[in-house]
Amino acid sequence: MRWNPSGDDSRQRIDDYLEKTGNTKEAESYKKSKYDWNPKVDQDKILRVSKSSYGTFNWCAHQYYLEKFKGLRGEEQPHHVRGKNVHDMAEWFWNNFTLKDSVLKLIEQNNIDEAMELMHSAVPSPPEPYIYGEEEQITQWVNWQFYRLVHSKGVNWEPVAVEPNIQASRYVEVDGEFIPIHMNGFIDSIFATDEGGFAPMELKTGKYKARSKVPSMRKELGFYKMMIEHSPHQEFLPVTNWGWEFPGGGMADGEGPTIFYEDTKKGGKYALRSVEKGLVKLVKAHLEMDFAPSPWLGKKKEGETIEDMLANNRMKCSWCDHVEECSFWSITDEFLDGIMED
């Protein structure tokens, strides 16, 4: 069951944003951009890139092609519902929580349990029980916000923006030519730092393993940092920090609920370089209209067959909803060996 306590879908407000901004550079850039940009026929258009589309392309370029050019969509899975419900509740919380002063007063009186109970009481209950672990994650997430309130005493506790719609236009250099693109997306939240900077934060509802999640989240937040810096939203600059929350990080043999926050200098330089390289690769694929698949996870081991890789979930195709429609798909060692050698 999907349930949005706000009663609407705030992610569908791009038209409202464009209407408010008027005839700006970003509004015009958005209007002439498209995900299925083919430069051979769309000479008056430019490529639109969201964090989601960018991520899909870097996972598998042919999956990206099937979804953006052919309009294929995968079936909604439990983790999609869980993610949407937890995100909607977090958004509702930041937009509607009015008990901050009352909770702070109880904290000052050292009535910690009562203060936490009061904060949790503000969270509305769904009309039907959650079934995909949302309640546990929401409880963990609210606990974190409570502990942040205790530590900060209310200073810079609330985000300065919740699900802000960021639109940005910029150029990407490909083989010496500068190609215009449009970047757009919603950031879960942006906080002001005590040092005068700003920190985008992302909420995730999957498992957490630092070895893989730290570099991938740095790239994701690097995408947002780049997007903000090329947008008219100077009120969110400079982006000096970023972070992520995984309230359900212990599921499926994960390392446990995790909240992570750092200075962008820690891994930002590498992350931004990686994002830029990914954008160049994406634009080049459109220029050449070449979206070859990348079906493997890691390198093929000596003596390992394709059947072995499938059995051990080391092929991305194991998670793909579009295998039957994929013109590249063939369970043959020769086919996939050839791709792996490219």
Predicted pLDDT at 294: 80
Q: Are 274 and 222 in contact (CB under 8 A)?
A: yes
Element of type H or E holding 169: strand 165-174
Helix, strand, or coil (residue 250) = coil
For 45: left if phi > 0, alpha if psi spans -120 to 50, otherwise beta; the answer is beta
In single-letter form, the type of residue at position 303 comes to: G
pLDDT at residue 332 tops 90: no
For residues 226, 228, 229, 230, the Cα torsion angle rounded to the nearest 10 degrees is 90
Predicted pLDDT at 66: 95
Looking at every residue in the chain, the average pLDDT score rounds to 89
Q: Are 47 and 295 in contact (CB under 8 A)?
A: no
C-alpha–C-alpha distance, residues 202 and 246, integer Å: 9
Of 97, 115, 96, 113, residue with least CA distance to 105: 115
C-alpha–C-alpha distance, residues 215 and 202, integer Å: 14
Domain map (residue ranges) of the chain: 26-73+161-288, 78-152, 306-341
Tell me the mean pLDDT in the region 172-178: 97
301 contact partners, CB below 8 Å, separation of at least 6: none
pLDDT exceeding 90 applies to what percent of the chain? 73
**1: confidence class by pLDDT, cuts 50, 70, 90:** low
Q: What is the pLDDT of residues 208-265, one digit of tens each?
A: 999 999 999 999 999 999 999 999 999 999 999 999 999 999 998 999 999 999 999 9
Phi then psi for residue 33, to 5 deg, are -100, 155
C-alpha–C-alpha distance, residues 129 and 60, integer Å: 36
Neighbours of 65 (CB within 10 A): 25
Phi then psi for residue 102, to 5 deg, are -65, -40
DSSP state of 11: G
Predicted pLDDT at 24: 77
Tell me the mean pLDDT in the region 60-87: 94
For 74: left if phi > 0, alpha if psi spans -120 to 50, otherwise beta; the answer is beta
pLDDT at residue 340 tops 50: no
Strand partners, 242: 262
In single-letter form, the type of residue at position 258 comes to: T
C-alpha–C-alpha distance, residues 23 and 29, integer Å: 10
**329: confidence class by pLDDT, cuts 50, 70, 90:** low
Give Dmax over CA atoms of the chain in angstroms.
71
pLDDT at residue 338 tops 60: no
Owner of token pair 């901050």: 100
pLDDT at residue 12 tops 90: no
231 contact partners, CB below 8 Å, separation of at least 6: 26, 166, 167, 168, 183
Tell me the mean pLDDT in the region 34-59: 96
Tell me the mean pLDDT in the region 136-148: 98
pTM confidence score: 0.89
Predicted pLDDT at 342: 46
For residues 113, 119, 121, 122, the Cα torsion angle rounded to the nearest 10 degrees is 170
C-alpha–C-alpha distance, residues 96 and 123, integer Å: 9
C-alpha–C-alpha distance, residues 283 and 191, integer Å: 32
Burial call 163-173: b when 16+ CB within 10 Å, e when fewer? bbbbbbbbebe
pLDDT at residue 8 tops 90: no
Phi then psi for residue 87, to 5 deg, are -65, -45
One-character DSSP codes across 251-295: STT----EEEEEETTTTHHHHHHHHHHHHHHHHHHHHHT------
pLDDT at residue 11 tops 60: no
Predicted pLDDT at 293: 85
pLDDT at residue 23 tops 60: no
Q: What angle do CA 168, 171, 176 make, to 5 degrees?
A: 170
Tell me the mean pLDDT in the region 70-91: 94
